[in-house]
């Protein structure tokens, strides 16, 4: 549990910056396919096994510290990393099927063309290449194999997407759709929602009664103690004596020695907390203990301290609006529900064609605003996805849209103003690449679906759990 901390302590608690590089090609629909099998294998693709050792090696080569993996087990980091390995393996099987090859000469040319290995005159310098390998703890064969794999994968996707060129009329159409000017009328719906001060206590109580199971508040009683070299061994250094004592505490925990006995023997003060309810303004350590509440008795690292804690009681209670903090939270929920209900009713009218321009004018009165959008990328007022929705609708259409602060508006598409493009312009060349890229992406998505049918991917859930347990 503490091996990573010992190494970390040597850096004087310096922060760690982790970059996770994952192949952008994802094997869709893989996540739910779990089954038991050979415990030496973590996954199987058709008749090709991925051994547990291969996965461990993949984790070790990912550059992700053990501590980071451990802290993100509940965020499915193991499953995501395994997905990366499966995708990698699957792609390599495709490369083999297509018999794609890269010569040593081509590989050497790629290395020589890398500007990181050039001098100020643009000449390849072997010494820069060697220095790069040394600084990154890489061998030349290992780096070259990685480069080879990357180029083969690139060649595979280039091969699949080959010939995806678009005719001029599609390019013009794409430009016109994205760059036409759009004029809209809109109404801020915040003017129509029921205000919080208008919501009665009876509404809050009814809401609580209707959502009893979902609204139950969890409370815990617990005790904890901060442990550091100063209060444990009387010095400021994280030395071996300190870690030996931490080791003994972990042994005591596993042997179910009581919390009170441990802190009494160590002569360390503790803090007792009752009826603790999670909220963002609470103490960080206490919030962390709440998050770890299902693990009743344990120790964890927190900055310059170790935290020993014991959960005494976990209980659930219905929200009590006599509690000001809880009342505030329930009031916010009811307010949001009222807004949702209002929006849904309005959307239903629009979708059922029970809302027309007369309704819009009557509703808006003096509250209607007008805005001209210059392109599908114009997000000066509304969130970019909302703008895309507007651009997809015909004139005289109505819809609900939002801004960056999630304020909701009723919008009417008023008129479009067409924009043309010169086929000899640089902008047209830009759109050639864009349309070709769109076509290529569509083709690759189809290829992805094809792979789902071609390969039977099975994950060994029992082995995955064993890998997770290794990090716990």
Indicate the average pLDDT of the chain: 84
Question: Which of 25-34, 60-69, 145-154, 285-294 shows the lowest per-residue confidence on average (mean pLDDT)?
Answer: 25-34
Given a cut of 60, whether residue 99 has pLDDT beyond it is yes
User: Are residues 391 and 462 located together in one domain of the fold?
Assistant: no
- Give pLDDT, residue 332: 93
Same domain? For 97 and 127 the reply is yes
Q: Is residue 212 part of a domain?
A: no
Asked if the structure places residue 4 within a domain, the reply is no
**Does residue 427 lie in a domain region?**
no
Question: 185 - beta bridge partners?
Answer: 370, 412
Alpha carbon of 271 to those of 202, 276, 416: distances in Å?
Answer: 39, 13, 66
At which of 277, 300, 317 does a domain end? 317
- Tell me what pLDDT residue 421 has: 73
Higher pLDDT, 398 or 47: 398
Name the band, by pLDDT with cuts 50, 70 and 90, for residue 380.
very high
Beta pairing partners, 222 = 273, 311
Last residue of a domain, one of 274, 296, 317: 317
Q: Which residue has the tokens 């001029």?
A: 168
What is the predicted pLDDT for the residue at 76? 86
Query: Mean per-residue pLDDT for 39-56?
Result: 86
Q: Say yes or no: 302 and 340 in one domain.
A: no
**Looking at the predicted structure, is the pLDDT value of residue 390 above 80?**
yes
In degrees rounded to 5, what are phi and psi of residue 274? -120, 150
Confidence check: pLDDT of 282 > 60: yes
Top mean pLDDT of 3-12, 48-57, 184-193 is at 184-193
Weakest mean pLDDT among 134-148, 219-233, 419-433:
419-433
Would the pLDDT of 23 be above 50? no
**Residue range 37-51: mean pLDDT, rounded:** 80
pLDDT tens, 289-298? 999 999 999 9
* Contact present, 298 and 253 (Cβ < 8 Å): yes
Query: Which domain CATH number covers 144?
Result: 1.10.4030
Quick one: average pLDDT of 443-460?
80
DSSP alpha helices (H): ranges in 273-404? 284-291, 324-351, 357-364, 384-391
Using an 8 Å Cβ cutoff, are 62 and 83 in contact? no
Inform me whether the pLDDT recorded for 343 exceeds 90: yes
- Whether the Cβ atoms of residue 34 and residue 459 lie closer than 8 Å to each other: yes
Average pLDDT over residues 77-83: 88
pTM score > 0.85 for this model? no
User: Coil, strand or helix: which one is 174?
Assistant: helix
> In this structure, are 287 and 221 located in the same domain?
yes
pLDDT value at position 6?
Answer: 38
Average pLDDT of 368-382?
Answer: 93
**Tokens representing residue 317 in the block:** 């209670």
84 shares a domain with 121: yes
| Eight-state DSSP code of residue 279 | -
Mean pLDDT of 61-77: 84
pLDDT of residue 214: 85
Residues 260 and 373 in one domain: no
Q: Does the residue 224 lie in any domain?
A: yes
Rounded Cα gap, residues 47 and 62, in angstroms: 26
Residue 34 has a pLDDT of 32
Residue 45: count of CB within 10 angstroms of its CB: 19
Is the same domain home to 148 and 187?
no
Q: Name the pLDDT band for 322 (thresholds 50, 70, 90).
A: confident
Q: Is residue 442 part of a domain?
A: no
| Domain region containing 339 | 181-198+325-417
- Domain termination site, one of 317, 347, 363: 317
- Is 52 inside a domain boundary? yes
Question: How many domains does the structure of the chain reveal?
Answer: 3
**pLDDT above 60 (res 25):** no
Residues 251 and 294 in one domain: yes
How does residue 165 score in pLDDT terms, banded at 50, 70 and 90? low
Q: What is the pLDDT of residue 17?
A: 26
- Residue 2 has phi, psi (to 5 degrees) of -110, 5
Per-residue model confidence (pLDDT) at position 39: 55
| Domain co-membership, 389 together with 412 | yes
Share of the chain above pLDDT 70, in %: 89
- The reply to whether 133 and 42 lie within a common domain is yes
Report DSSP letters for 118-139, one per residue.
B-TTS-B-HHHHHHHHHHTT--
- Would the pLDDT of 154 be above 90? no
Same domain, 194 and 329: yes
pLDDT confidence tier of residue 97, bands split at 50, 70 and 90: confident
**Could you give the percent of the chain with pLDDT greater than 90?**
42
**Looking at the domain assignment, is residue 187 inside a domain?**
yes
Residue 304 pLDDT > 60: yes
Region of poorest pLDDT, from 10-24, 67-81, 262-276 = 10-24
Per-residue model confidence (pLDDT) at position 87 = 83
Residue 163 has pLDDT above 80, yes or no: no
Over range 361-382, report the average pLDDT.
Answer: 92
Looking at residue 10, what is its pLDDT?
Answer: 35
Question: 72-76, 180-184, 348-352: which range is least confident on average?
Answer: 72-76
More confident: 210 or 167: 210
**Any domain includes 228:** yes
- The pLDDT score that the predictor gives to residue 341 is 95
For 166-195, what is each residue's pLDDT tens digit?
677 777 777 777 888 999 999 999 999 999
5 pLDDT above the threshold of 60 = no
Same domain for 345 and 252 = no
| Higher-confidence position of 343 and 163 | 343
Instruction: Grade residue 350 by pLDDT with cuts at 50, 70 and 90.
Output: very high
Residue 400 has pLDDT above 90, yes or no: yes
């Amino acid at each position: 549990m503490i091996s990573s901390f010992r190494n970390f302590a040597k850096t004087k608690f310096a922060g760690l910056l982790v970059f996770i590089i994952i192949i952008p090609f994802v094997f869709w629909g893989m996540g739910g396919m779990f089954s038991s099998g050979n415990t030496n294998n973590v996954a199987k693709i058709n008749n090709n096994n991925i051994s547990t050792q291969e996965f461990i090696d993949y984790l070790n080569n990912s550059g992700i510290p053990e501590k980071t993996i451990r802290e993100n087990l509940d965020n499915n980091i193991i499953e995501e990393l395994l997905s990366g390995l499966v995708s990698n393996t699957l792609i390599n099987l495709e490369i083999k099927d297509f018999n794609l090859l890269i010569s040593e000469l081509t590989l050497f040319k790629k290395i020589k063309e890398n500007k990181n290995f050039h001098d100020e005159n643009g000449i390849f310098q072997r010494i820069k290449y060697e220095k790069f390998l040394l600084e990154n703890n890489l061998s030349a064969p290992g780096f070259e194999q990685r480069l080879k794999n990357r180029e083969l994968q690139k060649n595979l996707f280039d091969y699949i997407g080959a010939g995806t060129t678009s005719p001029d009329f599609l390019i013009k159409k794409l430009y016109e759709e994205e760059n036409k000017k759009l004029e809209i009328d809109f109404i801020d719906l915040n003017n129509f929602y029921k205000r919080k001060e208008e919501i009665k206590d009876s509404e809050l109580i009814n809401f609580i009664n209707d959502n009893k199971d979902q609204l139950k508040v969890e409370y815990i009683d617990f005790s904890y103690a901060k442990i550091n070299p100063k209060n444990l061994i009387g010095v400021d250094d994280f030395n071996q004596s300190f870690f030996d004592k931490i080791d003994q505490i972990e042994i005591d925990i596993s042997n179910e020695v009581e919390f009170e006995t441990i802190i009494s023997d160590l002569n360390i003060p503790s803090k007792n907390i009752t009826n603790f309810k999670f909220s963002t303004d609470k103490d960080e350590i206490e919030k962390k203990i709440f998050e770890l509440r299902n693990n009743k008795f344990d120790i964890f690292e927190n900055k310059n301290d170790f935290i020993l804690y014991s959960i005494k009681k976990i209980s659930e209670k219905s929200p009590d609006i006599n509690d000001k903090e809880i009342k505030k939270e329930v009031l916010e929920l009811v307010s949001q529900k009222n807004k949702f209900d209002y929006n849904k009713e309005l959307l239903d009218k629009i979708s059922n064609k029970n809302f027309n321009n007369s309704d819009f004018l009557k509703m808006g009165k003096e509250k209607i605003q007008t805005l001209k959008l210059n392109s599908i990328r114009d997000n000066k007022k509304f969130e970019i996805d909302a703008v895309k929705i507007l651009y997809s609708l015909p004139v005289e259409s109505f819809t609900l849209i939002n801004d960056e602060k999630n304020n909701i508006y009723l919008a009417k598409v008023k008129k479009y103003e067409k924009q043309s493009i010169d086929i000899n312009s640089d902008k047209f060349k830009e759109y050639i690449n864009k349309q070709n890229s769109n076509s290529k992406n569509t083709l690759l998505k189809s290829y992805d679906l094809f792979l789902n049918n071609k390969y039977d991917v099975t994950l060994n859930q029992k082995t995955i759990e064993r890998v997770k347990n290794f990090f716990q």
